[in-house]
Amino acid sequence: MELVVTNAVASVGPAYSSRPEDIGWFILALPLFASLAIALFLHRNRTLTLFFSVGGVVAAFLLSWVLFFTFGVTGLKAVPSPFPWFHAGGLNVNLGLAVDGLSTVMLLVVTGVSALVQFYSTAYMRDDRGFARFFASLSFFTFSMLGIVLSDNLVMMFVFWELVGFSSYLLIGFWFEREAAADAAKKAFLTNRLGDFGFLLGIILVWSLTGNVQFDELAAKLKADPNALGVWSSVVGLLIFCGAMGKSAQFPLHVWLPDAMEGPTPVSALIHAATMVAAGVYLLCRAFFLFQATTAWPAALAFLGSISALDIIAVIGGGTALLAALIAIQQNDIKRILAYSTLSQLGYMVMAVGVGGPDAAMYHLTTHAGFKALLFLGAGSVIHACHHEQDIWKMGGLGRKLPVTFRTFVIGTAALAGFPLFTSGFYSKDAILVASVRHGHPILFGLGVLIASMTTFYMVRLVIVAFLGRSRSSSAEHAHESPIQMTWPLVVLAIPSIGLAWLPLGQYLTEHFFGSRVAVEEGGLFGPFNHAPLAATFGTGAIIFGAWAAIATYWNAESDPLPRSLAFWSRVLRNRFYFDEIYEALFIPIQDGLAAVCGWVDRWVMSGLLVRGVHGTTELAGRALRMVQTGNLQTYTFLFVGGVALIILIAL
């Protein structure tokens, strides 16, 4: 079938024919158009702003379904319609769309969550003076993120990668008058840039080794010859991973994500749960074929032997997951708990890719997008109700006052913890645990179980402290349920947190990556217990243990007992292992020190070198040239004509 489609297009030639894959361009253009229209013309009119912004993303969401059913479900191969972008020498870059099983699922996630977040924001941001700016930025962010999803080559991916960095900068720094928000935006952008530095070098290296940046052509090339990347294959893998490390906030570039909570809460739900941070994992999945190349290291790194890039990625992912889960246990700010939880779950997904299960990673990404957006929006509802109080120890008893928020939040918590049988989180987490067992990583499996248990612990802690017991502050005392525009998106998001459990999404993704259902056996509710009882049982056990520990510690607690019992370790966790302080002490002085040296050299050596030289040696020339400052045109013209005379003299 593939051949037929290609021939058909080849015969059509340059003449345009409408094809369903071109819907992708509309999906991409709609939010961009909305954003531009608002920024340039509509910013004074709130109704039109909302109409364009929300309308654009909803239309994109609906069109994404069309693509999903046309190409995702059927497996039909889309033919990209590339526009030339930069063709010079050996570098050939086009703008083209990748429409396949992977991108169509991701499209649904991105547009779906974006649409709900926009609906929610209409109420959350109602009184903000930057209302139009907010929606313009949000639409622009959606555009950039959709660009990442639809890119069919590495350079275009990098383009949108940077644009996502820029639009998240705008959104995190939305309340730019607050010092903390402005600093957080800057930090997020620059930390991401550090990862992009590696990513860009990785792209250049891939191009220089293969002469290509196109995903499908690279994949075909590597399939034909797994040694195509030579001794650089593992280095390429790690460099590309650098990009993912920045966007998906993996250790050691994780520091920006918690600070980014300074942005408005809907932004946190959109970019720090479902989209931007998922981009890193998506990149790893999109470029997974690069990691399947033969493991090889250049001579300088030969000591790494048979350790592959994927192994390193798995360890970094697992490490990040553990680190973040530990920190989350001792955070008191509701958004920060969720932020570290996001870090931890992203680590989980990266680990899944590392153990060779991109399908499991994508599965978890999809389910996580739903329930984490739910949790963030729920947190937003809580914060809104408590007059911008974010400390969970100043809440309490909110369950009765915010019934809808409470119930949906519990569903989200259950899904995040991976409550067996009923929640989507259970199945996707199970897929990761299974992948780590299958591909021979027992230690990472153990780590995964441990983290699952810790996840349950800190989420149950959050629910007990914030929603149960008695109110511990007047703002919690007088809290009211948020308006309907904010609660119905919560209800809608609660549906996939449960419902995705019943859809064969896992099998669908496995088929996409491995072409068959070999890797996953039967689905169904009890599937996990049948085909991989070990993983499912351990996963369930971890949840029960975590929940029990949290209930035992926090039921009716007035304050956190852990700081007393853990003393030193609690302080370390609360201070996030001092990463920010360490970075500040290490890297900033180096960069600023180099700058200071250059500044000194320039001031005392370079500056006016020629001026002083001329003054010292030939005062005459100096005088002649100083006439310029008097604005004496004739003198200068005279000198110039003299020069021309000189050239003619030499010529003749």
Partner 1 sequence: MLTTLLLLPFAGALAVLLIPANYRVILRLVALITTAVTALQAISVFSAMQPGISGFQLVEQAAWIPSAGFNYHVGVDGLNIGLTLLTSLVAFAAVCISWDIEKQTKLYYLCLLLITGGAMGAFLSLDLFFLYFFNEVALVPTFLMMGIWGRGEQKFYATYQMALYLTLGAMLALVGLAMLYSASGANTLDVVTLSAWLGQHPLSASSQRLLFPLFLFGFGTLVGLWPFHSWAAPGYAAAPPATAMLHAGVLKKVGLYALIRVALPLMPDGVRTWMPVLAVLCLGNILYCGWLALRQRDLALLLGNSSLAHMGFCFLGLASVSVTGITGVVVILVAHGLLAAANYALLGHVVRATGTSSLDKLGGLLRPMPVVGFFVVLAFMAGCGMPGFANFPGELGVLFGAWDRLPLVVIFAAWGGLLIGGVYMLRAIRSLLHGPVRAGLESASDAGSGIALYWRSLPYAVLLVPLIFFGISPDTLVRRIEPAVIPIVKSASASTPPTVDSKTPSLTSISPR
Footprint of partner 1 on 209-268 (CB under 8 A): 209, 211, 230-232
Give the H/E segment covering residue 506. Answer: helix 505-514
Q: Mask of contacts with partner 1, 533-572, x by CB under 8 A?
A: ----------------------------------------
Write down the least CB distance from residue 649 to partner 1, Å.
9
Residue 179 within binding range of partner 1, rule CB under 8 A: yes
Question: 259 or 560: whose CB is closer to partner 1?
Answer: 259
Residue located via tokens 């870090």 = 343
Q: Which of 508, 514, 368 is nearest to 439 (CA)?
A: 514
User: What count of Cα atoms within 13 Å lies in the side-chain half-sphere of residue 608?
Assistant: 7
Q: Mask of contacts with partner 1, 138-167, x by CB under 8 A?
A: -----------------x--xxx-xx--x-
Which amino acid does the sequence have at 627? M
Question: 123 or 156: whose CB is closer to partner 1?
Answer: 156
Question: 11 or 630: whose CB is closer to partner 1?
Answer: 630
Footprint of partner 1 on 199-218 (CB under 8 A): 200-201, 204-205, 207-209, 211
Write down the least CB distance from residue 201 to partner 1, Å.
6
Q: How many residues bind partner 1 (CB under 8 A)?
A: 80
* 353/441 Cα distance (integer angstroms): 12
3-state secondary structure of 93: strand
Q: Mask of contacts with partner 1, 585-604, x by CB under 8 A?
A: ------xx-xxxxxx--x--
Footprint of partner 1 on 603-642 (CB under 8 A): 606-611, 614, 622, 625-626, 628-631, 633, 636-637, 640
* 307/570 Cα distance (integer angstroms): 35
Of 9, 48, 63, 194, the residue at the interface with partner 1 (CB under 8 A) is 194
Footprint of partner 1 on 71-110 (CB under 8 A): 83-91
Residues near 88 by Cβ (< 8 Å), separated by ≥ 6?
none
**At CA 23, angle to CA 358 and CA 496, rounded to 5?**
45
Token output for 107: 């499209």
One DSSP character per residue, 463-485 reads HHHHHSS---SHHHHT--PPPHH
Q: Virtual CA dihedral for 253, 254, 258, 264, nearest 10 degrees?
A: 70
Question: 306 or 591: whose CB is closer to partner 1?
Answer: 591
Write down the least CB distance from residue 200 to partner 1, Å.
6
Q: Virtual CA dihedral for 477, 483, 484, 485, nearest 10 degrees?
A: -130
Q: Which of 494, 509, 513, 485 is nearest to 416 (CA)?
A: 494
Q: Do 154 and 213 meet the contact criterion of CB atoms below 8 Å apart? A: yes
Write down the least CB distance from residue 23 to partner 1, Å.
20
Footprint of partner 1 on 19-78 (CB under 8 A): 39
Question: 199 or 508: whose CB is closer to partner 1?
Answer: 199
Question: 302 or 567: whose CB is closer to partner 1?
Answer: 302
3-state secondary structure of 321: helix
Q: Which of 516, 345, 348, 376 is nearest to 432 (CA)?
A: 348
Write down the least CB distance from residue 626 to partner 1, Å.
6
Question: 533 or 593: whose CB is closer to partner 1?
Answer: 593
Query: Which part of the chain contacts partner 1 (CB under 8 A), choosing from 180-188, 257-265, 366-374, 444-452?
Result: 180-188
Footprint of partner 1 on 275-314 (CB under 8 A): 298-300
